Chain A
């Protein structure tokens, strides 16, 4: 008898789930036909939050790069969208894609600067850079200076068509970000990032080029943040420097990722959905809203430090087939 091993990705659950996800996607595509406009707007907000949480988690949860300055790319994405579509006269949906690419292009040289810092210095350094970019944007008259700039690209479009178009753009954006995140985590880069997440030193010793992998993920997530920034500009029809470059985005992203589960793909998605409902239900309660968020954050960090998803899954299953499973097959020789 000879023992041989079969390597598979994910469990039986992961064979069924893709069909459910496909059905969910189809339902989401058809949604603007049946759902009133205010609800479409809510979906766009939730999609943006999920994109932000997923990107911040890739960066901090897997890459170990705890940044509090990613609003820099949200801002660059938003302003790029307005600039490319309004001032350059390019179709806003094309402009959205270009805004994301531009963020990636900007992130690459920036990484050489910020990667000289580590730990807390990296976190503060990225924040400083976000502030510097904001101060720079405020000086640019073409971009509306300190009072911001409106997005005019949709002015010829009816409200209903516009909202539906933005909804579908956001749906494409979230689909692409989640799909590329899953494909990324199934790839060699994903294996490297997971190793870096668990032990950076050991990863390096085993041949993982920690710096280069971090740079790749930094550039990739910057494109995701740019996409989210562009969507924010589209749904608000206006970009204001103090809002779009606000460090609040970082606080929200950290909250969503930490309560959902750092270093998992599912965690940030759950975290974003929970945060969405909390702020949707509680935002009228002012101070109480912030107190509840704070208490919830403290409770989860102390009772379930692996986050809600980690607590539910206990590292035994995953919604996306990224984990490797080895099963044994016994073969009779000469049979």
Chain B
């Protein structure tokens, strides 16, 4: 596993969010170190995707604070947070359907915070597409891609942003057994090149093979956070998420 520093990159402090009467974040607090890979698990409706939305600015906080490199993100919109170095993928892919795969990824490399010139932005776009195995679809409208390729496109666009933190929302869901290791390699490689990863995933064995720490949330509350094996052995995590027949030994 790669080494990560002790410097806090992202701090989530006492955040609150509710949609009507449903509480989706209730006092969640945690820090993410620079270079770390943090996995997030929890039952459906636990508030996992909302947590990513709050971090990248698609949703605004009711209370609490999220800061990046000791600077509050609260007043920044998603584009401004992207410019700080936060990129994400969506659980349900959001391709620019009538734009080609290349154009989709070019948006990411062009509008990220580093203000690359056109030539460099194009190189980064092509590199991101090659890295995610979408070369044969350069000129294909993104709306014509299959689900798996749409997921790859999500990742390619996020890579093109050259992020410091990458938020992944169930990127492995629906992948075949042969495709999963390729994706895991990409994520590991990114992480070891210094990109901090925060990754929501239901495929626990895949998640645990990459992340340094695991966090479980349920009902908008943080249930446990720590070393993956410890979190998976936690009785509350087993009760609320994994189910009692889950074998910790089988996942590492």
Is A191 close to B, CB under 8 A?
yes
Whether A201 and B126, one on each chain, are in contact in the complex, defined by CB atoms closer than 8 angstroms, is no
What is the CB-to-nearest-CB distance from B164 to chain A, in angstroms, rounded to a whole number? 13
Stretch at the interface among B11-19, B89-97, B187-195, B208-216: B89-97
B83 and A199 contacting across the interface, CB-CB below 8 Å: no
Q: Can you list 8 A-B contacts with CB-CB less than 8 angstroms, sorted by A residue number?
A: A5-B126, A5-B138, A204-B57, A204-B58, A205-B82, A206-B108, A323-B100, A326-B126
Cα–Cα distance between A202 and B97 once the two chains are bound (Å): 11
Give the top 8 A-B pairs by smallest Cβ distance, nearest first: A207-B111, A198-B96, A207-B82, A326-B138, A202-B94, A204-B78, A209-B79, A195-B107
Residues of B within 8 A of A324 (CB): 100, 102-103, 106
Say which residue of B98, B106, B107 sits within 8 Å of A315 (CB atoms). B98
Q: Complex formed: what's the CA distance from A207 to B112 in Å? A: 5
Q: Which residue of A lies closest to B100 (CB)?
A: A324
Enumerate chain B residues within 8 angstroms of A202, measured Cβ to Cβ.
90, 94-96, 157
Task: State the total of A-B contacts with C-beta under 8 angstroms.
Answer: 94
CB-CB under 8 A from B77, the residues of chain A are: 204, 209, 211
Give, as a whole number of angstroms, the nearest-CB distance from B124 to chain A.
12
The answer to whether B111 touches A194 (Cβ under 8 A) is no
Among candidates A7, A192, A323, A325, residue contacting B107 with C-beta atoms closer than 8 Å = A192
Told that A188-B111, A191-B103, A324-B103 touch, could you supply 20 new A-B pairs with CB distance under 8 A? A191-B106, A194-B96, A194-B98, A194-B103, A197-B98, A198-B98, A198-B99, A201-B58, A202-B96, A204-B58, A204-B79, A204-B82, A205-B82, A206-B112, A206-B161, A208-B111, A209-B79, A315-B98, A324-B100, A326-B139
* Given A192-B107, A203-B107, also A315-B94 (CB < 8 A): no
Give B26 Cβ to nearest chain A Cβ, in Å: 25
The answer, yes or no, to whether A210 is at the interface (CB within 8 Å) is yes
Contact of A104 with B by CB under 8 A: no
Q: Give the distance in Å from the alpha carbon of A188 to the alpha carbon of B110 in the complex.
A: 8
Whether, in the assembled complex, B196 has its beta carbon less than 8 Å from a beta carbon of chain A, the answer is no
- Docked CA distance A323–B139 (Å): 10
B122 within 8 A of A: yes
- Please give the distance in Å from B60's CB to the nearest CB on chain A: 13
The residue in chain A whose Cβ has the minimal distance to the Cβ of B104 is A195
Nearest chain B CB to A13's CB is how many angstroms away? 15
Quick one: which of A183-229 are within 8 Å of B by CB? 188, 191-192, 194-195, 197-199, 201-211
A197 / chain B contacts, CB cutoff of 8 Å: 98
The answer, yes or no, to whether A271 is at the interface (CB within 8 Å) is: no
Contact A207 B79 (CB under 8 A): yes
Contact of B99 among A195, A208, A326 (CB under 8 A): A195
B88 contacts A by Cβ under 8 Å? yes
* Contacting pair A206 B97 (CB below 8 A): no
Indicate whether B64 reaches chain A with its CB closer than 8 angstroms.
no
Q: How large is the interface on A (under 10, 10 to 19, 20 to 34, 35 or more residues)?
A: 20 to 34
Complex CA–CA separation, A211 to B80 (angstroms): 12
Interface residues on B, range: 35 or more
Instruction: Please give me the residue from chain A that is nearest to B56 by CB atom.
Output: A205
**Chain A residues with CB below 8 A from B138, complex form:** 5, 326
Which residue of A194, A207, A325 contacts B113 across the interface (Cβ within 8 Å)? A207
Does A75 interact with chain B (Cβ within 8 Å)?
A: no
CB distance B78 to A191 under 8 Å?
A: no
A263 within 8 A of B: yes
Q: Is the CB of B103 within 8 A of A199?
A: no
Q: Does B141 contact A (CB under 8 A)?
A: yes
CA–CA, A263 and B97, complex, Å: 12
Bound Cα distance from A57 to B98, whole angstroms: 16
| Cα separation A325 to B56 with both chains bound (whole Å) | 31
Closest A residue to B121 using CB positions: A188
Q: Which residues of A contact B82 (CB under 8 A)?
A: 204-207
- Checking B90, B103, B139, B161 against A207 with a beta-carbon cut-off of 8 angstroms, the contacting residue is B161
> Once the chains are docked, how many angstroms separate the CA of A54 from the CA of B157?
30
A324 to B138 alpha-carbon distance, docked (Å): 10
| A57 CB, nearest partner CB in chain B, Å | 14
Chain B residues with CB under 8 Å of A205's CB are 56, 58, 78-79, 82, 87-88, 90
- What residues of A have a CB within 8 angstroms of the CB of B57 in the complex? 204
CB distance from A61 to the nearest CB of B (A): 11
Minimum Cβ distance to chain A for residue B174 (Å): 19
- Chain B residues with CB under 8 Å of A208's CB are 79, 107, 111
**Residue in chain B with minimal CB distance to A316:** B141
Name the distance in Å between A267's Cβ and chain B's nearest Cβ.
12
Instruction: Give Cα distance in the complex from A315 to B113, angstroms.
Output: 31
**Please, which residue of chain B has its CB at the minimum distance from the CB of A200?**
B94
List B contacts of A315 (CB < 8 A).
98, 141
Interface residues of A in 141-190 (CB under 8 A from B): 188
Question: What's the minimum C-beta distance from A285 to chain B, rounded to whole angstroms?
Answer: 37
Binary CB contact string for chain B from 124 to 161 against chain A (1 if under 8 A, 0 otherwise): 00100000000000110100000000000000010001
The answer for the CA separation of A159 and B60 in the assembled complex, in Å, is 62
Q: What separation, in Å, do the CA atoms of A331 and B134 have in the docked complex?
A: 20
* Smallest CB gap from B141: residue in A: A315
Q: Which of B88, B90, B110 has the most CB of A within 10 A?
A: B110
Interface centre among A201, A206, A325 (most CB of B within 10 A): A206
Tell me the complex Cα distance, A203–B90, Å. Answer: 12
Residue of A nearest to B167 (CB): A205
Q: Is the CB of B106 within 8 A of A199?
A: no
